[in-house]
Every structure is written in C-alpha cells, then in structure tokens.
Structure 1
C-alpha cells in the first residue's frame, strides 16, 4: 500500500462550500476513486490558512495517475475551480508532501 499526503489551498471564505460539495460527493467520483485504487481517503482543513491536507492510500501509483484522465475527474475539477487554487486545466494546485514518520 502506498500512502500519499498532499496539500491544496481554498479561496478565502470557501471552507463551508468545500465541505458541502464533498458531503455530496458524486457517486461516479467515488466509483472512479475506487476503480483507480484509492482507499482510506481523507481531507483535513486548517481554517486559519485555508490549507487542505489530503491523505490517500493507493494500490498502484501508475493506475492512480490515470484517474486524472477520466471524464468524471475533469468534470469534478471544473466544478471545484471556483472555490480553490487551480492550474490552467482546472486541476487543483497540489503539493505532494514527503512522509517523515509512520506508525501502524
């Protein structure tokens, strides 16, 4: 199992909207995440900085990387682009974090 941590950034005042959208995560998006080997996915928010911290466990990083090519993922990115920092293709600006400690 591969553990991934990453951070993203919300626009000011968008914390509640971000949570609302994820509380109503599309079934197609859930299915795509699972089909691309994503499990135990959590996103945490630092409300002082509007920084999101994501954690996901992956079966296969190469398979996961292909998830960005799916129609549903690109649709989700466009849906979220008005509330967070994004790249020109609407993907969230995401900074991968290096694991420095793990304990089972």
Structure 2
C-alpha cells in the first residue's frame, strides 16, 4: 500500500531538515521497518517549503501504531522547531490521494 502526504517546513530550515534526516537515528529506522514501512522518500518544493512524503506500508493499522512509540514521539519533539506541528508535536500532515502509480 502506498501512502503520500504533505507537510510544511519553516523558512530557512531546509538544510537543517535534510541534515537531521541524513543522520536519522537507527532506532527510528528500526521502528519504521517494524511497523511495515519501506521505500520512504520525502521531497521538498523549495518555492513553497512544502514537503511531500511517499512511503510503502504493509498495513494501515500496523503503520498507525508506530505513532505511539516512544522513539517516534522523541523524533516529533526533535523536529518540532523546524516544521509545522500539532499541539502534541506531531507534524501537520495532510494525506494526498494517489491518482496514478506505475510499477
């Protein structure tokens, strides 16, 4: 199953966002894989600072359980200063419908 979504970066935080993801914690990588995520890509529209995410997941229910893990909550707290977040520090993310996919 493919999930796509968008998020918003704060102005001037492009390099910091990239740096943090290039140094993604091993525990966070493990959590993503343990909750059925693979082929995860995040792209940036530099004009709007909109982040576009693409991830392949095994199961929506399994994937959603990853949000409640301690490592995920720690990551949200770590990223909250450079992007739009909800009151619990989860990123403001809007699901995007997949209109076309070619294997």
With normalisation by structure 2, the TM-score equals 0.99
Q: Structure 2, unaligned stretches of length 5 or more? A: none
Q: Structure 1, unaligned stretches of length 5 or more? A: none
2:84 is matched with 85
How far did residue 67 of structure 1 move? 0.3
Write out per-residue CA displacement over residues 24-67 of structure 1, whole angstroms, 9 at most, x where no aligned residue. 00000000000000000000001111000000000011000000
- Answering whether residue 88 of structure 2 is matched by residue 100 of structure 1, we say no
- RMSD of the alignment, in Å? 0.4
- Partners of 2:29 and 2:102 lie apart in 1 by 27
With normalisation by structure 1, the TM-score equals 0.98
SS in 2 for 1:67: helix
- Partners of 1:83 and 1:100 lie apart in 2 by 30
- Answering whether residue 53 of structure 2 is matched by residue 54 of structure 1, we say yes
How far did residue 102 of structure 1 move? 1.0
1:44 is matched with 43
Write out per-residue CA displacement over residues 65-91 of structure 1, whole angstroms, 9 at most, x where no aligned residue. 000000000000000000000000000
**Structure 1 residue runs of 4+, over 2 Å off?**
none
